[in-house]
Structure 1
């Protein structure tokens, strides 16, 4: 039995794909400690893993302090604040990992967990990177124009970084140039090689294991009887950029007269009472059991988050994609490229476009056929069983060396 440290971003799209793998490793006798945000304690502990938390400052703008001179450009001020939040988050992680006496045999970390590899080096253990999105899906970062003239604004943060490097014996990633994406000695990618686009940088250390499907043990009541024997449209913009009342109103207008049942998940940032009128053929809820709903869905309107797209394709569901930010654009493009959905720019969304897209997908069987082809490739990749095989074989080979 090995002791494993799993480090992840506190976000549903980064954590949900890993739950099945964690359960699989524990089932094979590994002892897993999972480090992420406190709000995910219950979900992690249900897998059987030991939970530890750190403070995630990247979304905590309330504690920002503006010490810059008035003539400093806004973009530079924002870059300073972001770097301050990154450093405070990393400091919180270091305090948890290095303050205890617990020893680990290897570490697994999310590709956006930029200090994962350095922590592995400091602990002198093998490192495994968990890629919950497409590899190299982000555009190359660029500095705010004229940043070199304002490096003095970063001095206090760079001093904090230097102090951490000396204290913990790590080399801090270059966060001045942007938000770096990490990789490990072994890299697990939660999709199939067929679905993943051809990009630079993928070598034999990258293993495509397909989707990790696990029972999230979510206790959500849902009226499944209301969507039985109906064409079902499921709509969700995920858990972050999901507060566009205008988008939801466009959906109401687009589908109110169609002979379909529409399930709409809106999150907790909008009060359902804010809507003027909800059509009779809509079920609108803050959250729904997505995995179960997708099993009865004919078309999924989504933000293009990698996890949501994987779950839809695993269930052979074609999509209308309205990407909001970051890697969602690359994911949406790939779905459309392989003929499993239609991509709509978020700034161009309206009721007519949505209705036309849904009508086209429902009437053209190729979208369903192509989604099934991708779904089969995800299933054939092996999932968490293959993922655990790759991890244990890799760790064993490291021990032999």
Structure 2
């Protein structure tokens, strides 16, 4: 049996898909440990072996940032300081746990740099497919800036003579999606979403739901500061909806049930469509349940994911900052209309997700890495 170290950033959407992989590896008799934000990991994965990594002081991102400015901020104030802060913890975890291979999240680049320096094989965990499409291709100055900073990070914590991009392991990339949504990509192992049977303790008035068509509206956990206007427009469409409203800004009404937190996975089988920000996990969980989407991307990877949904014919994209209640009403009516074909396309993608293997397929990729005797 082998030892696997899972290196993850302190983001729920990046830890959750790996929880199922860890469980599958353990079920197969392997030893598994995690390096990252220990409290978050144990909250999501349970009582697991964890090596806590330091986190940088968070710098709040101005909600109005978009496009190139938002991406540069994300790297300058997010991923790069995170890598520097996590590096000692990742190295200590490797020294103590002695893993045979690592699974490293694309946004925890310290893991790839240190694995390369220590000669350990590693796979990239792509919990969003946006980075695989080179989202900075249209922003060459930002792309060059990122590459320059990664080179400096390699000098500081990695092998100065190394050549691997820490976001894309030369040993392979495991993407938690499929080509039916993301498009064909060379060198990527599509395993589909890793959706486990996560139990929720969130209270919900299930009796509110009935036979009438209902949509779920959610902007994820990181967009509270930017979402009030959009949620208000959704509530004004007249469409029966369940709203995730962490700020408590939108009152419930005859057609709207507003709750600060929702048991999303339990709700999806009872919904007819989803309105969201284009977060990769929300989109994949929606399509897993064969539901079409109205997607209003805000920033980061969300415009890429929204475009994938639209190009796949599984939903409608609207402008987050401009969408009115009427725009949203039309968009929701479109995805609910059987004649649009969007429900059928969502179901096609959902079938590809369920057939791809999910956590089990990702675990097999890691096993193959160690069985082949690959070295960095």
Report the TM-score when normalising by structure 1.
Answer: 0.80
RMSD value, Cα: 3.3
State which of 202, 216, 225 in structure 1 corresponds to 2:207: 225
Shift in alpha-carbon separation, 1:171–1:19, aligned structure 2, 3 A: farther
Contact 1:90 1:115 in 2 (8 A): yes
Tell me the distance in 1 between the aligned counterparts of 2:255 and 2:366. Answer: 47
Shift in alpha-carbon separation, 1:122–1:373, aligned structure 2, 3 A: same
Match of 2:328?
354
Contact 2:237 2:326 in 1 (8 A): yes
State which of 167, 170, 176 in structure 2 corresponds to 1:190: 176
| Alignment gaps of 5+ in structure 1 | 63-74
Match of 1:131?
126
Q: Which region of structure 1 is more displaced relative to structure 2, 323-332 or 312-321?
A: 323-332
Shift in alpha-carbon separation, 1:334–1:169, aligned structure 2, 3 A: closer
Contact 1:34 1:44 in 2 (8 A): no
Shift in alpha-carbon separation, 1:44–1:13, aligned structure 2, 3 A: closer
Q: Which region of structure 1 is more displaced relative to structure 2, 292-301 or 184-193?
A: 184-193
Where 1:109 maps in the other structure, the secondary structure is strand
Tell me the distance in 2 between the aligned counterparts of 1:61 and 1:174. Answer: 31
Shift in alpha-carbon separation, 1:193–1:84, aligned structure 2, 3 A: closer
Match of 2:310?
336
**1:391 corresponds to 2:372:** no
Tell me the distance in 2 between the aligned counterparts of 1:263 and 1:172. Answer: 50
Tell me the distance in 2 between the aligned counterparts of 1:347 and 1:82. Answer: 23
Moved over 4 A (4+): 78-88, 157-162, 168-175
| Alignment gaps of 5+ in structure 2 | 62-67
Kindly report which structure 2 residues correspond to 1:105-254, keeping only aligned pairs within 5 A, or say none: 105-134=100-129, 135-140=132-137, 141-143=139-141, 162=155, 164-165=156-157, 169=159, 181-199=167-185, 202-203=186-187, 206-243=188-225, 244-254=227-237
Contact 1:7 1:110 in 2 (8 A): yes
State which of 294, 301, 313 in structure 1 corresponds to 2:287: 313
Report the TM-score when normalising by structure 2.
Answer: 0.85
Match of 2:244?
265
Larger of the two Rg values belongs to structure: 1
Shift in alpha-carbon separation, 1:171–1:101, aligned structure 2, 3 A: farther
Tell me the distance in 1 between the aligned counterparts of 2:260 and 2:192. Answer: 29
Tell me the distance in 2 between the aligned counterparts of 1:303 and 1:159. Answer: 33
How far apart are residue 340 of structure 1 and its match? 0.8
How far apart are residue 94 of structure 1 and its match? 2.0
Tell me the distance in 2 between the aligned counterparts of 1:329 and 1:82. Answer: 17
Contact 1:138 1:326 in 2 (8 A): no
Shift in alpha-carbon separation, 1:101–1:16, aligned structure 2, 3 A: closer
Shift in alpha-carbon separation, 1:80–1:250, aligned structure 2, 3 A: closer
Tell me the distance in 2 between the aligned counterparts of 1:229 and 1:305. Answer: 28
